[in-house]
Structure 1
Amino acid sequence: MFLIRENGADLLSELPTVPKLHIDELLEQLVSRAGEVVAARDGLRKLLTANSSIVGELSLPEVLRRVVQSACDLTGARYGALGVIGQDGTLEQFIHVGMDPELVDSIGPLPKGKGLLGALIAHPEPITLLELGADPRSSGFPANHPPMSSFLGVPIKLRGEVYGNLYLTENETGQFTAEHTDLAVSLAATAAIAIENARLFRDSQRRQDWLEASTEITRRLLTRPVDNALDDIAEQVKVMAEADVVIVVLPVGDGARLRIEVATGQGAAELTGRVYPDAGTLSQAAIDTGQPIRIARVDKADNLRVHIADVVRIGPVIALPLTGSGRPRGALLAARLAGRTAFSLAELDMAATFAGHAAVALELADARAVGERLALLEDRDRIARDLHDHVIQRLFAAGLTVQSVLSGSLPNRADRLTRVVDDIDETIRQIRTSIFALQTPRSTASARTQLLATLDEIAPTMRAEPHIRFVGPIDTVVAAELFDDVQAVLREALSNAARHSDADLVDVDLRVADGWLTLVVSDTGIGIGEPTRNSGLGNMKARATRRNGHFNTSPGPDGGTVLTWAVPLFAAPTTTGDR
């Protein structure tokens, strides 16, 4: 700076007064604004990072946890939580960060949405407080809860639907600013989209699981006895719906009462077999309307009684009509314990679809059983005609021949008597065949079907899928006790082939002819060799010996092994020999 002096005087002092520019204040403002710009830039960078982390995850529990942690990082909060709002307007889930598990356990049950948390549920708009305890809506803290002052609450909503709320406390600077609120609101908008995507993904996976379960239960009902069909259905629903107890209710008597036919889960033993009037019950409401019913809390069931609650303390419950081609044949109820998350609309829809498919499968299984009984009756009629047309006529002819021999009117009496004995033996065999055919079937599945199921069960353990050939009336003349031996021998033979033969080809031949049952299992493997243990072959031989049959193994014509097990169809088993 140049100072102009004249006669030693400072001319600057003689200039007009210049207003102060407050340079220090301007510099402070500039630095402050620059800091705000940097902070805003850092906040925006963190927000983008958080958004990317949240939307890239499809697991709903992990999405919720990341939302809370990202909100704390963005706003400088020490503690954070996300409350998921249930169908009844209370918090059904409460995901939190900032507290160690020991502290959480000492505080007690998680909040249910009272006080200030409930205010945000009732009025989903951001709330910022400098002193949380001073707000009249605050209901205080439970014992062992850490002190909290500053508070920021932000709703998570999308297209008018509120998924939950973000709760943030104890800002590192002592208070949450407008910028913190803006960041939290922006994060909540992204979180709502991510939560919806995660729920859709979860529902699609569950729908796929329900579809597979429906296919499996239908296959079981159409290929196996239906005696325990309701048990299978109830157990499947319990697993798929994540229920704690499931019951199947059917009308009894004049239709004015209901009976718990099947129960699984908690209280099953006490629930099974209970009979009660149908009036005013949730079960009957589902049967009458033919529509599924969902109740978030059993104590708010609109005067519909749920008899599961007499035994188990339940909360959410759904009732599903078992509807086939006509009126529902009963109802299925699935319940969760009190305090658990209510069934969603998607879960209700999936469970109802499964119940409908199961009901149709039950009707088809019943129709199949009726058809088999009719076929059995027709077969018995045919056997009765055969007995009349063949066996009785043959016995009558044998009687005439014996009378002729006794009278001495026929030459070659010895030959005649021998032929009579042969005819009687053949007649006895026919009668035995008819008796076995008239026995109650061992199951609704034929012998052939059960043996094919055995092959399907063992096939995955073998290098080559075995092929089987049936010859003769296997389904009608093989008695149940003999069939058990056949199945055991077949299983052991295939297991041996799987363990030892390394065969490219396995053939099974089962035939009934000339009063004998013969099972031949041949393979193209390396042969039996010297077995280290003989229990399997020994058991097969013992089963054959016990039935006055025979068992042997021999090399195949092109290598490998041929196993032959043969027993008479009608010989009574002896009491010696190990099974």
Structure 2
Amino acid sequence: MFPTVARLELDDLLTQLVERAQDVLATQSRLRGLLQANRIIATDLRLPVLLRHIVEAATDLLGARYGALGVVAPDRTLEEFVHVGMSDADVARIRYLPTGQGILGLLIDDQRPRRVDDIAEDPSAYGFPPGHPPMRTFLGVPIMVRAEVFGNLYLTDKHDGAPFTAEDEELALALAANAGVAIENARLYHESQQRHLWMTASAEITRLFMAGDPDALQRLAQRVLEIADATFVALALRAEEPAGDQARVAIAVTAPPTGRRPAQDGLDQSGEEAVSRAGRRIPLEHTLTGRVLTERQALRVDNAQLDALPDERTEHTGPLMVVPLVAGIDQCDGALLVGRDHGSPAFTDTDLTLATSFAGHIAIALELAHAKADQERLLVLADRGRIARDLHDHVIQRLFAVALGMQDLAQYENPSNSDRITSYIEDIDATIKDIRRTIFELRSAHPTRAARLRTALEEISEDIRPALGFAPTITLSGPLDSVVDDRLADHLLAVAREALTNTARHARAGTAELRLAVDGDAVTLDAVDDGVGIGDSTRRSGLDNLRTRAEIVGGSYTISTPPGGGTHLHWSAPL
């Protein structure tokens, strides 16, 4: 039998041994929990998903009812707050997430772990907003990334009601250290993905520019909108002289604040606003665009409403970055403006670097496209010169010789044949004049508007020729190139097509003539044929269209039957 004292000592030793064993088991369980938590936070490299995994793993590991991770912004506030444990109803009642006040703010200013047994008793407590669930115990530890504070991990209210211990703090610090590594890996992964997207877009847009795609600028803006997670993108190009102190908005697209993809045509409910921006002028003095073009250095601002002109942003734009299109050492031809709405994350240094590299590639692509266009234009001009010489040296001379021979032959023919030969000579003379006018147009580096009108009218004539059964005569006279603008030219061409179409459908004519001329302070278009006349048809939709076009430009329209029969359409517009 053991003495009573010895038995008591043995019981104490056995109790201590059991307690030590339980502590070892608990510690082993926590270590396993820590390893499991580390595995969980390493399963996904998408940063938003990773942050939630970190909070969930921390609450499970330490048995906390609530957990959160606050991402610290450059201004020492919380720019992002990821939380678990609260219901959707709780979040709806609170309405506003923390920004870094009270105990949370202390941890931002002093990056040391902090344990509080009763939040309400802490002198730095800021108080809970209405609707916030009650919380008592608190543990906060910093998350470091590359020796800088990325954010803080917050835990409250253990399930057993006990305060957080020093051991809990050590586990939280260990988890935060691994979380910092995981966050850094996620950042690097995100940067590599973004770099790949920017490079792919650069190659795509370069191909479009080199191919001369007319939608290249639109596609450029849409791709930047998608990659930069932006809601506003504009491309401003330096204006030509004499407006060299301005930049012209070449393209602008917007996206809805709640969406991240533009509509099919690059526009949303603000599409009309985006379209109206194209062509606007941005002064280079005292503007972000002017500063970037002058200094050839990219910049970013957190609140565009304070720093940018209305044409450099939208009414919702908050973060904005402006990057230069630098194609050479001393050459900067434009700037790319990329904005996000208020409340969106600010652009980072990485965003600015990637966008700047992209803009540099685009600037070079634009220069190459312009050089290619210039080269093709020179080849066309060389071809035009050769054709002009051949027409002048060979075709005109032969026609002139034929006309002289026919003129000489007409002297020895009877009067009836002489009249016919004279008519042929007049036709040849008119043809020579047309060829000479063509030669002049070919030798001109920039065809006049009159030349373009003649070309367009001839194309209309060729389109309708099969229906007519012959080619209508086209005559142009007066300074059309200096007085007819593009808008009026569109109306004139539409009227000409309508007139010839009506002749082909209803007139049964043998001849038709289009005469376009400048008459005083008006431009007139006359369409004359020798057909059956207007008739009494009640269908007047085409004629009503001609009348409407005349009214739009403040002009007049008449249609009549000449004494010799046929139809004479007269359409005029003031200059």
> Equivalent residue for 1:315?
318
For residues 176-198 of structure 1, the C-alpha deviation after alignment (integer angstroms, 9 at most, x for no partner) is: 11221111111111111111111
Tell me the amino acid that sits aligned with residue 376 of structure 1: V
SS of the equivalent of 1:329 reads strand
> Equivalent residue for 1:94?
81
Q: 2:170 aligns with which of 147, 164, 182?
A: 182
> Equivalent residue for 2:300?
294
Q: Distance in 2 between matches of 1:483 and 1:400?
A: 32
Q: Distance in 2 between matches of 1:378 and 1:189?
A: 71
2:290 is equivalent to residue 284 of structure 1: yes
Q: Distance in 1 between matches of 2:226 and 2:383?
A: 42
How far did residue 405 of structure 1 move?
A: 2.7
How far did residue 250 of structure 1 move?
A: 3.9
Bigger Cα displacement from structure 2, 203-212 vs 117-126: 117-126
Tell me the amino acid that sits aligned with residue 191 of structure 1: A
Q: 1:118 to 1:436 in 2, by over 3 A?
A: farther
How far did residue 278 of structure 1 move?
A: 3.0
Q: Distance in 2 between matches of 1:38 and 1:181?
A: 19
How far did residue 65 of structure 1 move?
A: 1.3
Q: 1:482 to 1:64 in 2, by over 3 A?
A: farther
Q: Distance in 2 between matches of 1:400 and 1:256?
A: 60
How far did residue 148 of structure 1 move?
A: 0.5
Q: 1:203 aligns with which of 168, 185, 191?
A: 191
Q: Report if aligned partners of 1:281, 1:305 keep a CA contact under 8 Å in 2.
A: yes
Tell me the amino acid that sits aligned with residue 244 of structure 1: T
Q: Report if aligned partners of 1:283, 1:306 keep a CA contact under 8 Å in 2.
A: no
Tell me the amino acid that sits aligned with residue 294 of structure 2: D
Q: Distance in 2 between matches of 1:432 and 1:374?
A: 22
Q: Distance in 1 between matches of 2:208 and 2:79?
A: 37
Q: 1:262 aligns with which of 251, 266, 269?
A: 251
Q: Distance in 1 between matches of 2:131 and 2:442?
A: 77
SS of the equivalent of 1:170 reads strand
How far did residue 406 of structure 1 move?
A: 2.4
Q: Distance in 2 between matches of 1:26 and 1:150?
A: 34
Q: Report if aligned partners of 2:392, 2:436 keep a CA contact under 8 Å in 1.
A: no
Q: Report if aligned partners of 1:297, 1:342 keep a CA contact under 8 Å in 2.
A: no
| C-alpha RMSD of the superposition | 4.3
For residues 209-264 of structure 1, the C-alpha deviation after alignment (integer angstroms, 9 at most, x for no partner) is: 111111111111111256x6544433332222111212233445554444544322
Q: Distance in 2 between matches of 1:436 and 1:98?
A: 82
- 1:307-456 aligned at under 5 Å gives the runs 307=310, 311-325=314-328, 326-408=330-412
Q: 1:105 aligns with which of 86, 92, 105?
A: 92
SS of the equivalent of 1:322 reads strand
Q: 1:32 to 1:544 in 2, by over 3 A?
A: farther
How far did residue 283 of structure 1 move?
A: 1.8
How far did residue 122 of structure 1 move?
A: 1.6
> Equivalent residue for 1:134?
121
Q: 1:209 to 1:433 in 2, by over 3 A?
A: farther
How far did residue 306 of structure 1 move?
A: 5.0
How far did residue 149 of structure 1 move?
A: 0.6
Q: Report if aligned partners of 2:70, 2:151 keep a CA contact under 8 Å in 1.
A: yes
Tell me the amino acid that sits aligned with residue 287 of structure 2: T
How far did residue 158 of structure 1 move?
A: 3.1
TM (normalized to structure 1)? 0.66
Q: Distance in 2 between matches of 1:318 and 1:212?
A: 21
- 1:174-253 aligned at under 5 Å gives the runs 174=161, 175-224=163-212, 229-252=216-239, 253=242
Q: Report if aligned partners of 1:82, 1:95 keep a CA contact under 8 Å in 2.
A: yes
Tell me the amino acid that sits aligned with residue 314 of structure 1: T
SS of the equivalent of 1:111 reads coil
Q: 1:60 to 1:109 in 2, by over 3 A?
A: same
Identical counterparts, % of pairs: 44
How far did residue 204 of structure 1 move?
A: 0.9
Q: Distance in 1 between matches of 2:322 and 2:195?
A: 18
Q: Distance in 1 between matches of 2:428 and 2:283?
A: 62
SS of the equivalent of 1:330 reads strand
Tell me the amino acid that sits aligned with residue 264 of structure 1: V
SS of the equivalent of 1:319 reads strand
For residues 267-291 of structure 1, the C-alpha deviation after alignment (integer angstroms, 9 at most, x for no partner) is: 5356555545433322222122211
Q: 2:42 aligns with which of 41, 44, 55?
A: 55
Q: Distance in 1 between matches of 2:218 and 2:465?
A: 38
Q: Distance in 2 between matches of 1:243 and 1:262?
A: 15
2:164 is equivalent to residue 163 of structure 1: no
Q: Distance in 2 between matches of 1:543 and 1:69?
A: 75
TM (normalized to structure 2)? 0.67
For residues 155-212 of structure 1, the C-alpha deviation after alignment (integer angstroms, 9 at most, x for no partner) is: 1113312221111111112221122111111111111111111111111111111111
How far did residue 342 of structure 1 move?
A: 1.1
Q: Report if aligned partners of 1:128, 1:176 keep a CA contact under 8 Å in 2.
A: yes
- What stretches of structure 2 of length at least 5 have no aligned partner? 255-269, 446-454, 471-499, 506-575
Bigger Cα displacement from structure 2, 53-62 vs 335-344: 53-62
Q: 1:146 to 1:365 in 2, by over 3 A?
A: same
Q: Report if aligned partners of 1:148, 1:169 keep a CA contact under 8 Å in 2.
A: yes
SS of the equivalent of 1:197 reads helix
Q: Distance in 2 between matches of 1:231 and 1:224?
A: 13
Q: Distance in 2 between matches of 1:106 and 1:309?
A: 38
> Equivalent residue for 2:67?
80
How far did residue 349 of structure 1 move?
A: 1.1
Q: Report if aligned partners of 2:81, 2:97 keep a CA contact under 8 Å in 1.
A: yes
How far did residue 346 of structure 1 move?
A: 1.6
Q: Distance in 1 between matches of 2:238 and 2:210?
A: 24
Say how many residue pairs are matched.
447
Q: Distance in 1 between matches of 2:443 and 2:96?
A: 63
Q: 1:436 to 1:196 in 2, by over 3 A?
A: farther
Q: Distance in 2 between matches of 1:190 and 1:234?
A: 39
Q: Distance in 2 between matches of 1:225 and 1:213?
A: 15
Q: Distance in 2 between matches of 1:433 and 1:275?
A: 39
Q: Distance in 1 between matches of 2:127 and 2:156?
A: 14
Q: Report if aligned partners of 1:313, 1:338 keep a CA contact under 8 Å in 2.
A: yes
Q: Report if aligned partners of 1:121, 1:165 keep a CA contact under 8 Å in 2.
A: yes
Q: Distance in 2 between matches of 1:308 and 1:122?
A: 39
Tell me the amino acid that sits aligned with residue 295 of structure 1: V
Q: Distance in 2 between matches of 1:144 and 1:309?
A: 41
> Equivalent residue for 2:509?
none
Q: Report if aligned partners of 1:321, 1:356 keep a CA contact under 8 Å in 2.
A: yes
- What stretches of structure 1 of length at least 5 have no aligned partner? 3-11, 442-478, 485-515, 517-541, 550-571
Bigger Cα displacement from structure 2, 384-393 vs 268-277: 268-277
Bigger Cα displacement from structure 2, 430-439 vs 325-334: 430-439
Tell me the amino acid that sits aligned with residue 209 of structure 2: L
SS of the equivalent of 1:339 reads coil
How far did residue 311 of structure 1 move?
A: 4.6
> Equivalent residue for 1:65?
52
Q: Report if aligned partners of 2:300, 2:347 keep a CA contact under 8 Å in 1.
A: yes
Q: 1:133 to 1:480 in 2, by over 3 A?
A: farther
Q: 1:547 to 1:96 in 2, by over 3 A?
A: farther
